[in-house]
Amino acid sequence: MSRLRHADVEVGTKLPERTFPVRRLDLVRYAGASGDFNPIHWNERFAKSVGLPDVIAHGMFTMAEAARVLTDWTGDPGCVVDYSVRFSAPVVVPDDDEGAEVTVGGKVRAKNGDGTVDVLLTARSGGAKVLAQSKATVRLAR
């Protein structure tokens, strides 16, 4: 697997945009793997009782999908130095086979002297911005 080099990147370089499916099955599997069994992520009756439109995705599932745009771009998932997001809107996941979609993009906003770059990520689902202030610092190959 080839690794992105620091010299290959400029401020403004765009990361390839990707769209990820989010289905009920994904949320069940993520609940098991992460240990987050909050019923708003799998129980429609409970989700509606607390005022949500339907079951919503784990914010951390969306954060993990957004990370793939970053780590597939660099080629090395061990490159991440800092990664932070704000969950600005829920990803609502209907009970059908298609589920929801999250579209993630990003661009380089700074090139640092220590071999790292700062990246801004965006994530949208159903017309809503689901991640805000989503940023990462990654170390690239020399």
Using CB under 8 A as the binding criterion, the count of chain residues that bind other proteins stands at 35
Residue closer to other proteins, measured from CB, 1 or 10? 1
Interatomic CA distance for residues 57 and 142, integer angstroms = 37
Interatomic CA distance for residues 93 and 100, integer angstroms = 5
Residue closer to other proteins, measured from CB, 1 or 97? 1
3-state secondary structure of 75: coil
Question: Does residue 26 belong to the site contacting other proteins (CB under 8 A)?
Answer: yes
Inter-residue contact 127 to 89 (CB < 8 Å): no
Task: Looking at residues 115 to 134 of the shown chain, list those that interact with other proteins (rule: CB under 8 A).
Answer: 133
Question: Does residue 110 belong to the site contacting other proteins (CB under 8 A)?
Answer: no
Q: Least Å distance between CB 136 and other proteins? A: 8
Interatomic CA distance for residues 56 and 58, integer angstroms = 7
3-state secondary structure of 111: strand
Q: Least Å distance between CB 87 and other proteins? A: 6
Give the residue, chosen from 13, 42, 71, 89, that forms a contact with other proteins under the rule CB under 8 A.
Answer: 71
H/E element holding 120? strand 116-125
Query: For binding to other proteins (CB under 8 A), which residues are involved?
Result: 1, 20, 26, 29-30, 32-36, 50, 58-61, 63-65, 67-68, 70-72, 76-78, 80-87, 133
